[in-house]
Amino acid sequence: MESISQNKLPVIDFSEVAEKPGSPEWNRVKDQVKEALVEYGCFEATFDGVPMDSRMSLLGSLEELFKLPLETKKRNFSKKPYHGYVGQHPLIPLYESMGFDDADIYDQVDNLSRTFWPEGHPVFSKTIQSFSERLSALDKIIRRMILESLVLEKYLEEHMDSTNYLLRVMKYEGPNTSDTKLGLVSHTDKNIVSILYQNEVEGLEVKTKDGDWIPFKPTPESFVVMTGDSLHAWTNGRLHSPQHRVVMSGNDARYSVGLFSIPKAGYIIKAPNEMVDNDHPLLFKPFDLIEFLGFCYTEAGKRSESPLKAYCGI
């Protein structure tokens, strides 16, 4: 196992910034966001826009969902890579997950939940949709701050309208040993921004630019925000996209969710002209996320240390 850094992720408080663009507090937090995403590609966020009862209801719903029979869970099928059920993989036997596309839209969530419960489960559907909708407010704040800090406000409407939300729900079975076992291999996220929430079972680690691993100490109040490869490419490398992994020990299961802002099918990710100059030559050719995800599942993509560079690097 590589060395573990004693550093911690930066912590940023968003409790005073909602609906206050341009205020001194907004600008102060905006500077913190840019600094954290340039240096670490991630940070820990406190955000009161998602009530604690909503968070606890969500975690309870995950336990209910993952107790379903395997054949039922496999009904969570999608032609899009990494949008449907993933599990039973010999390299990561502790891990399984499912995806809810357009998770902030109730009808979309309810239609999918009926593949698990044909008679319907409105409480489950509302729990997933409400959590996603409320957490998407934090995503929108962060992305607006990013564009403002890079003086790219003129692209804000296009940037927001070109994405939708995927909520990915995950379970990592406790390995029932004090030895460390791999829960999820080291990887970068491929989307725009990821916001993660989990129960209090540790396991997430983020790799620094220096190669050290920072273990995340979860609390009920905290979210983790990460830059994905799509935003890394769109900003022409200005924002770091961090490697991260999950390692497990002990007996307790780790439940987590990730709200991912995803470029819509057919949208071409291309760095704005303002991000390219003599000091910052273009790093990546324009690409479609779905096609890039398809490459990530090829042998070449799986072997590559940086699938993004292998796929569209210049």
The model's pLDDT over 81-121, given as tens digits with 9 standing for 90+, comes to 888 999 988 889 999 999 999 999 999 999 999 999 999 99
Given a contact cutoff of 8 angstroms between Cβ atoms, the answer to whether 190 and 168 are in contact is no
The whole-number pLDDT of residue 10 equals 95
The whole-number pLDDT of residue 6 equals 54
The 10s digit of each residue's pLDDT in 21-57 is 889 999 999 999 999 999 999 999 999 999 999 999 9
Q: For 68, which DSSP code?
A: S
- Global confidence as pTM: 0.95
Sort strands 86-87 and 95-101 into parallel, antiparallel or unpaired: antiparallel
The whole-number pLDDT of residue 2 equals 47
Given a contact cutoff of 8 angstroms between Cβ atoms, the answer to whether 170 and 97 are in contact is yes
Q: At residue 5, does pLDDT exceed 80?
A: no
Q: Which domains does the chain have, with CATH numbers?
A: 11-273 (2.60.120.330)
Residue 74 class from Cβ within 10 Å (0-12 exposed, 13-18 middle, 19+ buried)? middle
The 10s digit of each residue's pLDDT in 114-123 is 999 999 999 9
Report, as an integer, the average pLDDT of 127-131.
98
Query: Which element (helix H / strand E) includes 288?
Result: strand 287-288
Q: How far apart are CA 314 and CA 311, in angstroms?
A: 9
Q: How far apart are CA 287 and CA 277, in angstroms?
A: 20
Q: At residue 230, does pLDDT exceed 50?
A: yes
Across 4-103, where does the E strand assignment appear? 11-13, 42-46, 86-87, 95-101
Q: Which residues contact 164 (CB under 8 A, 6 or more apart)?
A: 101, 102, 261, 262, 264
The whole-number pLDDT of residue 296 equals 92
The whole-number pLDDT of residue 3 equals 45
CA-atom Rg of the chain in angstroms: 19
The 10s digit of each residue's pLDDT in 155-175 is 999 999 999 999 999 999 999
Residue % of the chain over a pLDDT of 70:
97
Report, as an integer, the average pLDDT of 208-232.
95
Report, as an integer, the average pLDDT of 255-276.
96
The whole-number pLDDT of residue 20 equals 81
What is the chain's mean pLDDT, rounded? Answer: 94
